[in-house]
A and B are shown apart, each in its own frame.
Chain A
Amino acid sequence: MIEGKIVKISGPVVVAEGMKGAKMYEVIKVGDTQLIGEIIGLEEDLATMQVYEETAGLKIGEKVIATGRPLSVKLGPGLIKNIYDGVQRPLRVMKDEQGSFILRGVSVKELPEKSWEFVPRVKAGAAVEPGMVLGTVKESEVVEHRILVPPNVSGDLKHIVLKGTYDIEDDIATVKTADGDVGLKMYHAWPVREPRPYAKKHPSTIPLITGQRVLDTFFPIAKGGTAGIPGGFGTGKTVTQHQLAKWADAEIVVYVGCGERGNEMTQVLKEFPELLDPRTGKPITERTVLIANTSNMPVAAREASIYTGVTIAEYFRDMGYNVALMADSTSRWAEALREISGRLEEMPGEAGFPAYLASKLSGFYERSGRVDTLANDTGSLSIIGAVSPPGGDFSEPVTQNTLRVVKVFWALDKKLKDQRHFPSINWLTSYSLYLDEIEDWWKDNVSEKWKMRRDEAMSILQEENELQEIVQLIGPDALPERQRVTLLCAQMIREDFLQQNAFHDVDSFCSENKQVVMLKSILDFYDTALKLIDSGVSVAEIRDMPTVQKIGRLKYVSEKELESYIKGLTDEMYDEYDRLARSYAG
Chain B
Amino acid sequence: MSDVQKEYSSIREVSGPIIIVDGVEGVGYSEVVEVTLPDGTKRRGQVLEVDRDVAVIQVFEGTSGTTTEGTSVRFTGHTLKLPVSEDMLGRVFNGMGEPIDDGPDIIPDKEMDINGLPINPSAREYPREFIQTGLSAIDGMNTLVRGQKLPIFSGSGLPHNEIAAQITRQTKVLTGEEFGIVFVAMGITYGEANFFTENFRKSGALEKVVMFLNLADDPAIERIITPRVALTAAEYLAFEKDMHLLVILTDMTNYCEALREISAAREEVPGRRGYPGYMYTDLASIYERAGRIEDREGSITQMPILTMPDDDMNHPIPDLSGYITEGQIIVSRELNRKNIYPPIDVSPSLSRLMKDGIGEGLTREDHDGLQNQLFGAYAKGKEMRDLVAVVGEDALSDLDKQYLHFAEEFESNFIRQKRDEDRSIEETLDLGWKMLGMLPEGELKRIDQEYIEKYYPKEQSE
Chain B residues in 8 Å Cβ range of A292: 121-122
A9 and B49 within 8 A (CB): yes
Known: A8-B52, A103-B117, A388-B323. A58 touches B123 (CB 8 A): no
Whole-angstrom distance from the CB of A236 to the nearest CB of chain B?
10
A91 and B121 within 8 A (CB): yes
Q: Which of A83, A296, A332, A348 contacts B118 (CB 8 A)?
A: A296
Closest to A54 in B: B115
Chain B residues in 8 Å Cβ range of A83: 121-122
Q: How far is the CA of A57 from the CA of B81 in the complex (A)?
A: 12
Closest to A472 in B: B390
Whole-angstrom distance from the CB of A399 to the nearest CB of chain B?
14
Q: Which of B50, B122, B239, B314 contacts A8 (CB 8 A)?
A: B50
At the interface, yes or no: B265 with Cβ under 8 Å from chain A? no
A348 and B269 within 8 A (CB): yes
Chain B residues in 8 Å Cβ range of A57: 28-31, 78-79
A100 and B322 within 8 A (CB): no
The interface-forming segment of B58-66, B172-180, B280-288 is B280-288
**Mask for A26-48, Cβ within 8 A of B = 1, else 0?**
00000000000000000000000
Whole-angstrom distance from the CB of B190 to the nearest CB of chain A?
32
Q: Which of A7, A55, A91, A270 contacts B52 (CB 8 A)?
A: A7
Known: A9-B50, A55-B30, A475-B391. A420 touches B375 (CB 8 A): yes
Chain B residues in 8 Å Cβ range of A265: 121-122, 124
B126 and A263 within 8 A (CB): yes
Q: How far is the CA of A223 from the CA of B277 in the complex (A)?
A: 35
A263 and B291 within 8 A (CB): yes
B277 and A338 within 8 A (CB): yes
B123 and A60 within 8 A (CB): no
Known: A101-B119, A390-B272. A8 touches B294 (CB 8 A): no
At the interface, yes or no: B353 with Cβ under 8 Å from chain A? yes
Q: Which of B26, B280, B293 contacts A60 (CB 8 A)?
A: B26
A352 and B27 within 8 A (CB): no
At the interface, yes or no: A335 with Cβ under 8 Å from chain B? yes
How many positions in chain A have a CB within 8 Å of any CB in the partner chain?
61
At the interface, yes or no: B120 with Cβ under 8 Å from chain A? yes
B322 and A233 within 8 A (CB): yes
Q: Which of A261, A339, A393 contacts B278 (CB 8 A)?
A: A339
Chain B residues in 8 Å Cβ range of A294: 118, 121, 284, 288
B296 and A100 within 8 A (CB): yes
Closest to A269 in B: B122
Chain A residues in 8 Å Cβ range of B26: 59-61
A418 and B347 within 8 A (CB): yes
Q: How far is the CA of A299 from the CA of B270 in the complex (A)?
A: 18
At the interface, yes or no: B379 with Cβ under 8 Å from chain A? yes
Closest to B327 in A: A234
A234 and B350 within 8 A (CB): yes
Give the dominant DSSP class at A's interface. mixed
Q: How far is the CA of A8 from the CA of B51 in the complex (A)?
A: 4
At the interface, yes or no: B348 with Cβ under 8 Å from chain A? yes
Chain B residues in 8 Å Cβ range of A232: 319, 322
Chain A residues in 8 Å Cβ range of B269: 342, 348, 352
B121 and A262 within 8 A (CB): yes
B277 and A339 within 8 A (CB): yes
Closest to A388 in B: B323
At the interface, yes or no: A152 with Cβ under 8 Å from chain B? no
At the interface, yes or no: A124 with Cβ under 8 Å from chain B? no
Q: How far is the CA of A244 from the CA of B319 in the complex (A)?
A: 26
At the interface, yes or no: B16 with Cβ under 8 Å from chain A? no
Within A210-226, the residues touching B (CB, 8 Å) are: none
Within B237-272, the residues touching A (CB, 8 Å) are: 239, 268-272
Q: How far is the CA of A547 from the CA of B436 in the complex (A)?
A: 26
Closest to B322 in A: A233
Whole-angstrom distance from the CB of B149 to the nearest CB of chain A?
9
Whole-angstrom distance from the CB of A213 to the nearest CB of chain B?
19
**Mask for A333-375, Cβ within 8 A of B = 1, else 0?**
0010011001000001001100000000000000000000000
Whole-angstrom distance from the CB of A511 to the nearest CB of chain B?
24
B284 and A295 within 8 A (CB): yes
Whole-angstrom distance from the CB of B157 to the nearest CB of chain A?
23
Chain B residues in 8 Å Cβ range of A352: 269-271, 277
B79 and A56 within 8 A (CB): yes
B324 and A295 within 8 A (CB): yes
Q: How far is the CA of A10 from the CA of B372 in the complex (A)?
A: 49
Q: How far is the CA of A346 from the CA of B145 in the complex (A)?
A: 43
Q: Which of B27, B79, B120 contacts A102 (CB 8 A)?
A: B120
A392 and B314 within 8 A (CB): yes
At the interface, yes or no: B395 with Cβ under 8 Å from chain A? yes
Give the interface centre of A15, A263, A420, A503 by most chain B CB atoms within 10 Å: A263
Chain B residues in 8 Å Cβ range of A99: 120, 123
At the interface, yes or no: B381 with Cβ under 8 Å from chain A? no
Within A60-80, the residues touching B (CB, 8 Å) are: 60-61
At the interface, yes or no: A419 with Cβ under 8 Å from chain B? yes
Closest to A298 in B: B118
Known: A9-B29, A59-B26. A233 touches B319 (CB 8 A): yes
B117 and A295 within 8 A (CB): no
A100 and B294 within 8 A (CB): yes
A296 and B284 within 8 A (CB): yes
Within B269-328, the residues touching A (CB, 8 Å) are: 269-272, 277-278, 280-281, 284-285, 288-289, 291, 293-296, 314, 316, 319-320, 322-324, 326-328
Give the interface centre of A58, A262, A267 by most chain B CB atoms within 10 Å: A262
Closest to B283 in A: A295
Chain B residues in 8 Å Cβ range of A419: 379
Whole-angstrom distance from the CB of A320 to the nearest CB of chain B?
30
Closest to B293 in A: A100
Chain A residues in 8 Å Cβ range of B355: 503
Chain A residues in 8 Å Cβ range of B376: 420
Known: A9-B49, A348-B269, A390-B316. A335 touches B277 (CB 8 A): yes
Q: How far is the CA of A418 from the CA of B116 in the complex (A)?
A: 36
A262 and B124 within 8 A (CB): yes
**Mask for B118-139, Cβ within 8 A of A = 1, else 0?**
1111111111000000000000
Q: How far is the CA of A420 from the CA of B383 in the complex (A)?
A: 14
Q: How far is the CA of A262 from the CA of B52 in the complex (A)?
A: 37
At the interface, yes or no: A297 with Cβ under 8 Å from chain B? yes
Chain B residues in 8 Å Cβ range of A234: 322, 327-328, 350, 352
Closest to A296 in B: B288
Chain A residues in 8 Å Cβ range of B124: 262-263, 265-266
B28 and A266 within 8 A (CB): no
Q: How far is the CA of A55 from the CA of B50 in the complex (A)?
A: 12
Q: How far is the CA of A297 from the CA of B269 in the complex (A)?
A: 23
Q: How far is the CA of A263 from the CA of B148 in the complex (A)?
A: 9
Whole-angstrom distance from the CB of A368 to the nearest CB of chain B?
26
A393 and B288 within 8 A (CB): no
Chain A residues in 8 Å Cβ range of B271: 351-352
Within A316-333, the residues touching B (CB, 8 Å) are: 332
Whole-angstrom distance from the CB of B356 to the nearest CB of chain A?
8
At the interface, yes or no: B393 with Cβ under 8 Å from chain A? no
At the interface, yes or no: B87 with Cβ under 8 Å from chain A? no
At the interface, yes or no: A182 with Cβ under 8 Å from chain B? no
B29 and A267 within 8 A (CB): no
Q: How far is the CA of A545 from the CA of B295 in the complex (A)?
A: 56
Within A272-294, the residues touching B (CB, 8 Å) are: 292, 294
**Mask for B341-383, Cβ within 8 A of A = 1, else 0?**
0000001101011010000000000000000100110010000
Residues of A within 8 A of B (CB): 7-11, 15, 54-61, 83, 91-92, 94-95, 99-103, 232-234, 257, 259, 261-263, 265-267, 269-270, 292, 294-297, 299, 332, 335, 338-339, 342, 348, 351-352, 388, 390-393, 418-420, 475, 503
Query: Can you offer 9 A-B residue contacts whose CB atoms are under 8 A?
Result: A7-B52, A8-B49, A61-B25, A101-B118, A234-B327, A266-B121, A294-B284, A390-B320, A391-B316
Q: Which A-B residue pairs are the 6 nearest by beta carbons?
A: A295-B284, A56-B30, A391-B314, A296-B288, A101-B117, A100-B123
A60-B26, A335-B281 given; name 9 further pairs at CB < 8 Å. A10-B50, A60-B52, A60-B53, A263-B126, A263-B147, A269-B122, A335-B277, A390-B272, A390-B316
